[in-house]
Amino acid sequence: MVQQASRDGQYSIYLVGVDGRIGGHVTAQWPSPDFGGYGPLVSTSDRKVYFLDGPSTLKSFEPNSNVAVAATLPSSATIQARFSVSPDDRRIAVALLTYHVEGLAITYGGMQMYVSDLSGANRVDIFSSPSVAEWPVEWLGTNLVVAVSIPFASQSGRGGSITPFGALGGYHLINSATGDRIAELCPAKEGLPLGLPTHEGVLCERYSDAAAMFYDWTGAEIKLGNVPPNPVYQALEPGTRNFIVDNVNLSGTSIYVTGATGELRKLPGEVAELGFITKGKVLLALQAQPNLVVYDLASSSSAAVTLQPSKAVGSLYGAYGLLAGRLPGGL
């Protein structure tokens, strides 16, 4: 699922199949104001895609189906919501982040996180903080994966790639009924998580030596195979410990790394990878054409992806958006 922003205050969501075909496309209004700049605007269950249309209207759609209003989230001129819907469409986790505006000055007012039925019933408040910024991003069974970040994630001075969720401080796995922490992955002082998390865990770049680290959902860490010099890590492959890395010494070169052995395989052409849509299938933006393709690692073949023209912003990543989730949802 690709999320693409534009200059007119809207964003588009595309469902991209493993064969490159578009299985659905919707356009929504970007939440305004959007102080923090990160956190998911979309979430996938096993059947549906949920997305924010404006600051509080939660809508859903299924592949090749109509859009429906699913819920209304709490919102105001100073509160922004971030959310994740459970794979069975029954429960939703919501983080409400508060910002105070005085003239041109914006300060953070804290947050609270709760879990409820999608209808809003059976609400349980599970976490609050006057200073920490966190938001739910995925479900692992009945547990929640929470991105740990900072109040103004879009203004972070940290370089390199980050997750599409802005998890600058790593992830916490928590009990969705109590908020109790079960595990911590890629803690803020140790490294930076990259790409979408998978059922197996999270790819991390370790700060001390720029090593590729794999964290599983118990919080255990393993150093992965060798990588080229000056790496920019990108994405972990679902069902494996393999990953993609860019080599900044070779412009536009992306390399597939087999995590267990360190075997390197160059991907074709000058590409910018958006991530894996499933095991063995990676979404690439070809810089020469330019266009999007789903690249099959087994056959070395590509299937073109056709997006509708848009007023996209930013670099090649901005023009094509980001890989914001996978369907079916959950980990």
Please give the Cα distance from 140 to 305 (Å, whole number).
Answer: 30
Question: Strands (DSSP E) along 122-270, which ranges?
Answer: 124-129, 133-140, 143-149, 171-175, 181-185, 191-194, 201-206, 212-216, 221-223, 231-236, 243-247, 254-257, 264-266
Among 58, 56, 51, residue whose Cα is nearest residue 27: 51
Q: Tell whether the model's pLDDT for residue 155 goes beyond 70.
A: no
Short-list 20, 30, 63, 18, CA closest to 45: 63
pTM of the model: 0.91
Q: Which band of pLDDT confidence, cut at 50, 70 and 90, is reported for residue 10? A: confident
CA–CA distance, 182 with 205 (Å, rounded to integer):
22
H helices, E strands: number in the chain: 1, 28
287/219: higher pLDDT? 219
Please report the sign of the dihedral spanned by the C-alpha atoms of residue 13, residue 15, residue 21, residue 24: negative
- Lowest-confidence region among 30-39, 89-98, 232-241: 30-39
Is residue 325 within 8 Å of residue 40, measured between CB atoms? Answer: yes
Is the CB of residue 269 less than 8 Å from the CB of residue 254? Answer: no
Q: Residue 320 — φ and ψ, nearest 5°? A: -100, -5
Ordered alpha helix ranges (H), the chain: 316-320
pLDDT of amino acid 158: 42
Do residues 256 and 247 make contact, with C-beta atoms less than 8 angstroms apart? no
Identify the burial level of 156 via C-beta atoms within 10 angstroms of its C-beta, where 0-12 means exposed, 13-18 middle and 19 or more buried.
middle
Per-residue confidence (pLDDT) for residue 252, from 0 to 100: 65
CA separation, residue 47 to residues 12, 198, 280 (Å):
19, 18, 22
- Assess whether pLDDT exceeds 50 at residue 55: yes
Provide the pLDDT for residue 154: 65
Sketch out the chain's domains with CATH numbers.
2-323 (2.130.10.120)
State how far Cα 41 lies from the chain centre.
Answer: 9
Cβ–Cβ under 8 Å, residues 49 and 13: yes
Please give the Cα distance from 209 to 191 (Å, whole number).
10
Higher pLDDT, 155 or 4: 4
The pLDDT score that the predictor gives to residue 288 is: 62
What proportions of the chain, in percent to the nearest 5, are helix, strand and coil? 0, 50, 45
Distance CA 238, CA 91 (A): 24
State phi, psi for 216 to the nearest 5 degrees.
-90, 180
Instruction: List, for residues 85-108, the tens digit of each pLDDT value.
Output: 999 999 999 999 999 988 888 899
Mean pLDDT (whole number) for 232-246: 90
Q: Which residue has the higher pLDDT, 154 or 92?
A: 92
